[in-house]
Structure 1
Amino acid sequence: MALDISCFFLVALFSASCEAITSSDQMCIEKETNKTYNCENLGLSEIPDTLPNSTECLEFSFNFLPTIQNTTFSRLVNLTFLDLTRCQIYWIHEDTFQSQHQLDTLVLTANPLIFMAETALNGPKSLKHLFFIQTGISSLEFIPVHNLKNLESLHLGSNHISSIKLPKGFPTENLKVLDFQNNAIHYLTKEEMGSLHQASNLSLNLKGNDITGIEPGAFESTVFQSVDFGGTVDLLVIFTGLQNATIQSLWLGTFEDVDDKEISSSVFDGLCEMSVESINLQKRSFLSLSSNTFHCFTNLKDLDLTATHLKQLPTGIVGLNNLKKLVLSANKFDSLCHINAASFPSLTHLYIKGNVKKLDLGNGCLENLENLHLLDLSHDDIETPDCCNLQLKNLSHLQSLNLSYNEPLGLKTEAFKECPHLELLDLAFTQLRVKAAQSPFQNLHLLKVLNLSHCLIDTGNQHLLNGLPMLQHLNLQGNHFPNGNIQKTNPLQTLESLEILILSFCDLSSIDQLAFTSLKIINHMDLSHNRLTSSSIEALSHLKGIYLNLASNSISIIPSSLLPILSQQRTINLRQNPLDCTCSNIYFLEWYKENMQILEDTEHTLCANPPSLRGVRLSDVMLSCNITAVGIFFLIVFLLLFTVALIFAGKYFLRWKYQHI
């Protein structure tokens, strides 16, 4: 009976009342306090009164505003960005934005506009970006020209426009981007292009219009940053019409759903009469390639031949001696030697990514590219038991090498001896077979970024990362450590310059307290998606001011002794941990609310226990862990009973003592 009373007393004494205090749901999501709000797809037909007058950026797409007037946004005088995508807007009345003097960007995409008043844009004094994509416009006369002198980009894609001639008086002095993609433009005249003469370094997008004719001389008087004729079937029309043009970047690629006809070498003769630095021929097909095909590409610095069905480039190509960047991705080369690299002696950037066939690296295929700085050979099914000195012979100036997403590679000691100036090495998702106990990277004294994610590399090799004094960024995601533990002695101990360390998805269950002591200047550590508990936080005690990602681990209760370690960090992410929201974790829960400014992704940092609070945000939980009124009552009763019992026990003891004298 006494035992039952004691148990009942203890339950009452330590019982705690738990409740979730959830703030009322806001109609619009606040992304930046008093400045940026997202009101997308809420079925709104007016601007909510809850939005403060200080709002600067408003995302209001997928709502219902068939008519907007000068009173619709009049209260929001500080707006700089306004997105009204798919708001079913038909009418924009006079002086609609008269109060928005600071409006910088206006997005009217996918609204079935019928009418827009001439004075609709009179208010904004510095409107720079205007979007009329998919609005049904058939003529540029629809757009009010007043007050657009600061306009930098005009986006008119997916409409019914047949002429690019801008309205009289349309200011183009500051115009940098003019986007007409996917319209009904088929012929370009000198008169139409003349309306752009005041623009300088303009990017003109005519993608998806299938240009069938260009009046000679139409492009003569304007210097273009870029011109995009993507999807045009007949390239001869383009090269003929661009005579005497000056264009830095010319996009002539096509798409999967366009019936492309093969290009003959004579099509490129028009390049001899124009000035171009960069050409993109993505997904085009060549009738035949000869050493003379590119003879008019003499001044070209950048050539993109992605997915052009190439199996081999001819030897002795004429015209590409000055080429700096060459993209040969998604082609059908059997061997790296089939690109005949000697034809591009000035090359600094080479991309052969996603080759359709298994690519053989060969030996010394690129040795003539002594100026090469970047080489991308990712997604090529490359497999070799001995990488990579013979294959990268004479590439002593190489700074960036990407061999990610390939087949297994065997690495010996100093596997990249031919590339001592490497600063970035990406081997992600390529299984590495290190054949010696020494480091295959030990001669890369200038290496700053090393990506070894999902390489199935032997992390038990203590010398794996030796010889990397300048390494700043290391990605070991998806590699497993012996027994799921990072021990005191580990490959990271030599990396004193490391600033970013990624150890997510490494199946870690524990970290030795001294495992990271050599990482003195690290500022970003990702330990997410492991099985770590709060005990591993002790290994971070010497780190201060870092970004710490502990998301998706097994952390439930964080003792008060570990809270100072968390307090000294810059940003912490604890989402998707089985966090305890009972009084057992009260010190952490109090700390959490007091340190919201350093916590990331708080919307998804939820309680897992007790069941009554499962799924509730930690920031919304309030616990009462003091003794309740019932507990106080039972405490008094317990003390009285204890006192009475003590008195009776004392009397019994004295009686027993005297009986035995």
Structure 2
Amino acid sequence: MALDISCFLLVALFSASCQAIGSSDQRCTEKEVNKTYNCEHLGLSEIPGTLPNSTESLEFSFNALPTIQKTTFSRLVNLTFLDLTRCQIYWIHEDTFQSQHRLETLVLTANPLIFMAETALTGPKALKHLFFIQTGISSIEFIPVHSQKALESLYLGSNHISSIRLPKDFPTEKLKVLDFQNNAIHHLSKEDVSSLQQATNLSLNLNGNDITGIEPGAFKSTVFQSLNFGGTQSLLVIFKGLQNSTIQSLWLGTFEDIDDDEDISSSMFEGLCEMSVERINLQKHHFFNITSNTFYCFSGLQELDLTATHLTELPSGIVGLSKLKKLVLSANKFENLCQISASNFPSLTHLYIKGNTKRLELGSGCLETLEHLRELDLSHDDIETSDCCNLQLRNLSHLQSLNLSYNEPLGLRTEAFKECPQLELLDLAFTRLHVKDAQSPFQNLHLLKVLNLSHCLLGSSNQHLLDGLPALRHLNLQGNRFPNGNIQKTNPLQALGSLEILILSFCDLSSIDHQAFINLKIMNHVDLSHNRLTSSSIEALSHLKGIYLNLASNRISIIPPSLLPVLSQQRTINLRQNPLDCTCSNIYFLEWYKENMQKLEDIEDTFCANPPLLRGVKVSDVMLSCSMAAVGIFFLIVFLLLFAVLLIFAVKRFLRWKYQHI
């Protein structure tokens, strides 16, 4: 009975009133104070008067501005970026952007433009990037850019343009990107190309136009940073038309929905012998029969992309690829790594065989002639071997990056990568690893900086798993398990004194010993999200300062005052999707939260879970009054009076008893 009365008194004494400050305001979102605003999808028909004159970046997509004129944006004289995508714009009147002298980027994508005044763009002299994608225009002359001397990129994709010829007064002095993809351009003449000659190192995108004819000599003596003829069915037309040109990057890939029955042969590539190209992409073409002379005219090539070209093997003795530095053979049909005949590419530094459509056997020493190889990607290839990877990677002593992620189980012994001592990045994500020895399979990788072991189903009870990695900076252990869901004081991480980034999300962690990370003194990024941690685990980070700390999706409800200094000394904290208590029991944390919102990430998605009345309310909107209520004060006075009476009565009884026993 006494206990019940005490509980009742405590509830009365500390009863609290709660108030949530919510907002249904649909005004523009401020991303950067007084500078950057997002007004997308608000159904607006004019520029809100609440936007300050100092606004520099405005995202105004998916609103309704059928007509824009000089007064529409006249107040926003500091604009440098303006996005008007899908604003139902039909008419752009005279001097519309007359006041926007600093405007650099204007996006008019997906507006059904009917009229654009000749002086519409005379104001912004600093305009660099223009987007007229999917606007229905059929000619470049529709766009009045003659006064835009600073123009660097013009995007005209998905329109009805049939010629790339630029008007005589078109400013090309600084033009770097000209994008015509998915238009109706099928023929290129000398006059078309000559109109581009003033632009140096231009990237011209004609992807999706299906070029069927190029006038002989049209590209003679021209220099391009990149040319994209993606989707063109006849490669013979392209190579003949590009003779005597200089191109850094040539994209000739095709697409799944285009019938490509053209037989790729060495005669088709003869035009390459009379042009200079560094990089070529031929993805998704069909190479039915590659011979040793197929790539004869590729002798100056540095990079070649043969992704999804239905290759099953490459013959030995291929001529023309001895200087090749980068080769992409992804999404083909090799069964054994030796079928690529690596000896064809003695200068290779980068090799990518990703997503092979058949299970790939690594073989033994298939790449040993590639002594200059720096980067190797063998991910998504269904590779499986019980003893990886010294025999398979023999003589790759200069390899710096190795990707074996998304493969079948691999068995690793001590010093499993002894043949690759210069590795700096090793990615084994989503590949189940069987570590067969008590020693570390990575212990000879003294230069390794990044190690991805996410979802490898590793047994983290091996205390020596991560030994011998003195330079490791970034470790991803996402999706692995620790014994009993606990990271103890003695754990494999203690050997990583140079670690800066640690990812332990989705590890089913329930607790972390307060000294589990004691040797990790220079960490600046710790991800503990999507676990079962409570606030007690925060103490393990007390020795760290200025870190990014992700605690999202855990079981943190009440954070005691003793742990608030640990949070205060960090750079950024994420507490999203935790069952946070928004009662007076957590008042010290709630006050700290309000005072440190500049440190908090995802505050718009950080909600209360308790009490029920505030469930789903943003923590930042909660205001608590935790003073004693009037009824609490009344009961306190009554309680004190009763206590005083009982004390006086007890003292009198004691004195009487003492007197009787003298």
TM-score scaled by structure 1?
Answer: 0.98
Between 63-72 and 629-638, the greater mean CA deviation after superposition: 629-638
**Percent identity (aligned):** 83
Between 260-269 and 435-444, the greater mean CA deviation after superposition: 260-269
Pairing of 1:299-318 with structure 2 (within 5 A): 299-318=300-319
Instruction: List per-residue Cα deviations over 1:583-639 (Å, max 9, x = no partner).
Output: 111111111111111111111111111111111111111111111233223323433
Pairing of 1:290-369 with structure 2 (within 5 A): 290-369=291-370
Pairing of 1:65-464 with structure 2 (within 5 A): 65-262=65-262, 263-464=264-465
Verify the 8 A CA contact 2:445 2:469 in the aligned structure 1.
yes
Verify the 8 A CA contact 2:248 2:277 in the aligned structure 1.
yes
Verify the 8 A CA contact 1:124 1:147 in the aligned structure 2.
no
Structure 2 CA distance, aligned partners of 1:65 and 1:529? Answer: 44
Instruction: List per-residue Cα deviations over 1:216-260 (Å, max 9, x = no partner).
Output: 111124310000000001111101110101111000000011111
Structure 2 CA distance, aligned partners of 1:571 and 1:649? Answer: 58
Report how far residue 21 of structure 1 moved.
Answer: 1.9
Report how far residue 287 of structure 1 moved.
Answer: 3.4
Report how far residue 32 of structure 1 moved.
Answer: 1.3
1:466 partnered with 2:463: no
Report what 2:478 is aligned to.
Answer: 477
Verify the 8 A CA contact 1:545 1:570 in the aligned structure 2.
yes
Verify the 8 A CA contact 1:265 1:288 in the aligned structure 2.
no
Structure 1 CA distance, aligned partners of 2:586 and 2:36? Answer: 34
Verify the 8 A CA contact 1:302 1:326 in the aligned structure 2.
yes
Structure 2 CA distance, aligned partners of 1:26 and 1:638? Answer: 51
Distance 1:47 1:658, change over 3 A: same
Structure 1 CA distance, aligned partners of 2:620 and 2:354? Answer: 46
Verify the 8 A CA contact 1:200 1:222 in the aligned structure 2.
no
Structure 2 CA distance, aligned partners of 1:571 and 1:644? Answer: 55
Structure 2 CA distance, aligned partners of 1:645 and 1:179? Answer: 92
Verify the 8 A CA contact 1:152 1:177 in the aligned structure 2.
yes
Verify the 8 A CA contact 2:312 2:339 in the aligned structure 1.
yes
Pairing of 1:511-522 with structure 2 (within 5 A): 511-522=512-523
Unaligned runs of 5+ in 2: none
Verify the 8 A CA contact 1:145 1:167 in the aligned structure 2.
no
Letter in 2 for 1:317: I
Report what 1:490 is aligned to.
Answer: 491
Structure 2 CA distance, aligned partners of 1:150 and 1:639? Answer: 82
Structure 1 CA distance, aligned partners of 2:488 and 2:9? Answer: 46
Report how far residue 537 of structure 1 moved.
Answer: 0.8
Structure 2 CA distance, aligned partners of 1:511 and 1:647? Answer: 52
Instruction: List per-residue Cα deviations over 1:56-97 (Å, max 9, x = no partner).
Output: 111110100000011111111111111100000000011111
Structure 2 CA distance, aligned partners of 1:3 and 1:600? Answer: 43
RMSD value, Cα: 1.6
SS of the residue 2:296 aligns to: coil
Structure 1 CA distance, aligned partners of 2:90 and 2:218? Answer: 36
SS of the residue 2:255 aligns to: coil
Structure 1 CA distance, aligned partners of 2:2 and 2:589? Answer: 36
Report what 1:28 is aligned to.
Answer: 28
Structure 2 CA distance, aligned partners of 1:470 and 1:115? Answer: 61
Verify the 8 A CA contact 1:199 1:222 in the aligned structure 2.
no
Verify the 8 A CA contact 2:232 2:254 in the aligned structure 1.
yes
Letter in 1 for 2:388: C
Verify the 8 A CA contact 1:161 1:184 in the aligned structure 2.
yes
1:63 partnered with 2:66: no
Letter in 1 for 2:265: S
Verify the 8 A CA contact 1:118 1:146 in the aligned structure 2.
no
Distance 1:391 1:5, change over 3 A: closer
Structure 1 CA distance, aligned partners of 2:350 and 2:399? Answer: 9
SS of the residue 1:283 aligns to: coil
Verify the 8 A CA contact 1:196 1:222 in the aligned structure 2.
no
SS of the residue 1:539 aligns to: helix
How many corresponding residue pairs?
661
SS of the residue 2:30 aligns to: strand
Verify the 8 A CA contact 2:266 2:296 in the aligned structure 1.
no
SS of the residue 2:544 aligns to: coil
Instruction: List per-residue Cα deviations over 1:513-565 (Å, max 9, x = no partner).
Output: 11111111111111111111111111111111111111111111111001111
Report what 2:609 is aligned to.
Answer: 608
SS of the residue 1:569 aligns to: coil
Instruction: List per-residue Cα deviations over 1:101-154 (Å, max 9, x = no partner).
Output: 111100000000000111111111210000000000001110002331101100
Distance 1:216 1:617, change over 3 A: same
Letter in 2 for 1:525: V
Structure 1 CA distance, aligned partners of 2:368 and 2:2? Answer: 91
Report how far residue 12 of structure 1 moved.
Answer: 2.0
Letter in 1 for 2:114: I
Between 600-609 and 202-211, the greater mean CA deviation after superposition: 600-609
Report how far residue 458 of structure 1 moved.
Answer: 1.7
Structure 2 CA distance, aligned partners of 1:244 and 1:480? Answer: 60
Letter in 2 for 1:69: Q
TM-score scaled by structure 2?
Answer: 0.97
1:562 partnered with 2:563: yes
Pairing of 1:591-606 with structure 2 (within 5 A): 591-606=592-607
Verify the 8 A CA contact 1:486 1:512 in the aligned structure 2.
yes
Letter in 2 for 1:626: S
Pairing of 1:511-550 with structure 2 (within 5 A): 511-550=512-551
Report what 1:51 is aligned to.
Answer: 51
Report how far residue 29 of structure 1 moved.
Answer: 1.2
Between 342-351 and 137-146, the greater mean CA deviation after superposition: 137-146
SS of the residue 1:296 aligns to: helix
Report what 2:637 is aligned to.
Answer: 636
Distance 1:268 1:45, change over 3 A: same
